[in-house]
């Protein structure tokens, strides 16, 4: 099964989205957006940038765990991954976003 986006509200009424892989695991989480339109633009940005390997910034956190950010052409972070125990797991996460990020399925959980 292909991945999908879930658009939801945070506890303070802002918007966020996650990208889920076909197994329903979250593979990318957005920042908080003040408006629904901004969150929808963020999803569109993932859809257009996720297939480009140059848009990923592989990182190591201070605690030694591994993660990545997906960036737009203007270098703004669109979404971030979870923390991974190994660089190899992080790299598989990047591949998963590359494979699922083009999905046009958006599940609206805001209602």
Closest CA to 17 of 73, 84, 97: 97
24 three-class SS: coil
Q: Are 70 and 76 in contact (CB under 8 A)?
A: no
- Report pLDDT for 4: 98
Instruction: Name the token pair of 85.
Output: 């125990």
Residues of the chain with pLDDT under 70: 1
Closest CA to 31 of 74, 87, 71, 62: 71
In whole angstroms, give the CA distance from residue 79 to residue 6. 13
What is 53-108 written as a DSSP string?
GGGEEEEE-TTS-EEEEEE-TTS-EEEE---BSSHHHHHHHHHHHHHHTT---EEE
Instruction: Name the token pair of 6.
Output: 């879930």
Residue 102 CB neighbour total at 10 angstroms: 15
Mean pLDDT of the chain: 96
- Report pLDDT for 1: 64
- Report pLDDT for 38: 97
Please report, rounded to a whole number, the percentage of residues in the chain having pLDDT higher than 70.
99
């Amino acid at each position: 099964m292909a991945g999908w986006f879930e658009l939801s509200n945070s506890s303070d009424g802002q918007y966020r989205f996650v990208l889920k892989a076909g197994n329903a695991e979250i593979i990318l989480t957005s920042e908080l957006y003040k408006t629904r339109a901004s969150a929808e633009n963020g999803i569109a940005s993932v859809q257009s940038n996720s297939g480009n390997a140059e848009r990923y910034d592989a990182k190591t956190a201070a605690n030694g765990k591994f993660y990545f950010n997906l960036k737009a052409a203007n270098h703004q972070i669109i979404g971030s991954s979870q923390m991974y125990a190994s660089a190899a797991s992080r790299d598989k996460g990047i591949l998963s976003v590359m494979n699922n990020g083009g999905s046009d399925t958006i599940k609206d959980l805001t209602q």
